[in-house]
Amino acid sequence: MRYLPLLLSFVSLASYAYTPLELLPYGSRTSLVIATPEKAELELNHRQLFPPASTLKVITALAAKLELDDDFRFQTDIERIGSELVIRFNGDPTLINADLAKLLKAVKTQGMTQISNIYLDNSAFSGYERGVGWPWDILGVCYSAPASAITLDDNCVQASISSTNNGQTSTYVPNHQPIHVTSDATSLSKLAQQAQQCDLELTTSDGNQYHLSGCMVTREKPLPLKFAVQDTFDYTKQVLTRLLAEQGIQLNGNIQIKTVANQGVLIARHQSAPLNELIDTMLKKSDNLIADNLTKTLGREFFHQAGSFANGTEAIKQIIYANTGINLEHAKLADGSGLSRNNRLTAEDMEQVLKYIWQNDGDLNLIASLPVSGESGTLKYRRSMRQAPIKGHLQAKSGSLYGSYNMAGFVLDDEQKPTALFVQFVTDYHPIKKPVNKKGDTPKTLAPIYQFEQQFYSDVLRSAQGSDLPH
C-alpha cells in the first residue's frame, strides 16, 4: 500500500485534461509547455515530435549568435582578372539591384569599359537550393524563394493579374524584371468561383516563366503577385546585362557560372547589415531566405566546406550542443526556416532553447528581436493577440505550416521583462469548412485556433502571475 500515492500521482498527471483543447477540431494534436527556468507549470505531450514551422527560426538564430561574430556580414566581391570580372556571391539575402549597380560603377571608375567575360562564383553553397520536404505547390511564391549563393532582390519578383471585361484575365510585369508571365485564368463572381471549386493556380518553367490558370474572383483593381525566382543564375545574368548597358560597359564575351580561385584584384565589396540586424529582420518578419542562407553559412563556417542544407542543419545541432549542452540529436531538421514539412521537434526541445536564451540574453540579445503580441512583426495583427491583457504581454515567434499553428516565446511583465516561457505546438488542425450563403459569404466568427489561443494565452499570463491553471 505504501506505493499507492505514487501510483495515484502518475495517473493524475497522465489523465490531465486541459479544457481549451476542446475548442480545437477533431483530430488535432497538441503539445503545450508553460514554464519558468526553475519549474514547469504545464507540460502536455512535450516529448512528442511536431513540425516546428517557423518557430525553428529561434533555434537558427541561437546557433548563428553562438557561432558567428556580432559583426558578421554577408559580402559580395567583384574582382578583376585581366579583362575579365569575377563576382563572388556568398548568399547575401539582402543584396539588391542597386548594390550590384554600385559594384559595376566601381568597375567603370577604374577605367574598365570593355569586359571579355564575367564569371559568377557561387561556390559558397552547394546542393539543393530548396530544402527536402518543401511543398511543391508553393515553390513559385516568394516565401519559398530558393536559398542560393547567387541571391538577388530576395530571389523574388513582382507582377499583377487583372480582370478583363470579357471574363478573362491579363498580367503585368514591370519592365526592369526579366521574367515572363502569362495567364489563361478566368475571372468569375465569388459564387461562380465557389460553385466551380476552382482557384488561381501557378506553374513555372525554364527561364523564369510563370503561367497562371484556373480562376479568380473578379476584381476592380489588379491583384498583386509575388513570384519566387526559379533560376537564380538566369535572373542575375539578365539583370547584369541591363546594368552593364546602363553603366556604359561593353561585354564582349559571356556571363557564366564558374568557380574561380582567389587570384583576382579586388575592385569593390558590398556588405550586408551586421548579424544582429539580419536576425532581427528574420524573427520579426519571419524571413525564410535569411534563415536558410544563414543555415548554409553556418554549415560552411563550421565544417569549412561549401554550405548546404545538410551540413547547415547538422552544424546547428552541433553548435547548440557544444555551447549549451542541449542535445537535439533526435530532432529532424531539413532547413533553418521551418518551411520543410519534414522538420520535427519536441516542445521540450524548444523549452530548453528558450530557457537558455532567457538565462543568457544579456549576451545574446535575442528576446528583443521577437515580435510583441498585437504590436510588432508577425504578431501585430494576429487575431488572438489584439486585445488586453494579451496585447503587449507576449514576445514570441509564430510558426504556421499546412495544418500547424505554433508559438514559442515569453510572457512579459509591465516592465517588459520575461516572467515565464511557453510553447504551443498544434498540428493536424483541419477545421470543417463553414457553409456559404447566397452572397457567397461565410459567417464571420473567430476561427477555432484563435479561440483556443485566446484561452491558452490567458492561462499563460495567469500562470506567470502565480495563479493555478484550470483542468
Catalytic residue numbers, as ranges: 54, 57, 286
| 241: nearest Cα among 230, 232, 251 | 251
* Nearest-angstrom CA–CA distance, 399 and 176: 34
**Burial (0-12, 13-18, 19+ Cβ within 10 Å), 22:** exposed
Cα separations (Å) of 82 from 102, 112, 254?
20, 10, 15
* Nearest-angstrom CA–CA distance, 357 and 351: 10
* Nearest-angstrom CA–CA distance, 160 and 332: 38
Work out whether the CA dihedral 58, 64, 69, 71 comes out positive or negative: negative
Identify residue 334 by its one-letter amino acid code.
Answer: A
84 Cβ contact list (under 8 Å, min separation 6) = 115, 116, 117, 118, 119, 253
Residue 177 main-chain phi, psi, to 5 deg = -100, 115
* Nearest-angstrom CA–CA distance, 295 and 281: 15
Assess contact for 264 and 79: CB atoms under 8 A: yes
**Burial (0-12, 13-18, 19+ Cβ within 10 Å), 438:** exposed
* Bridge partners for 420 per DSSP: 411
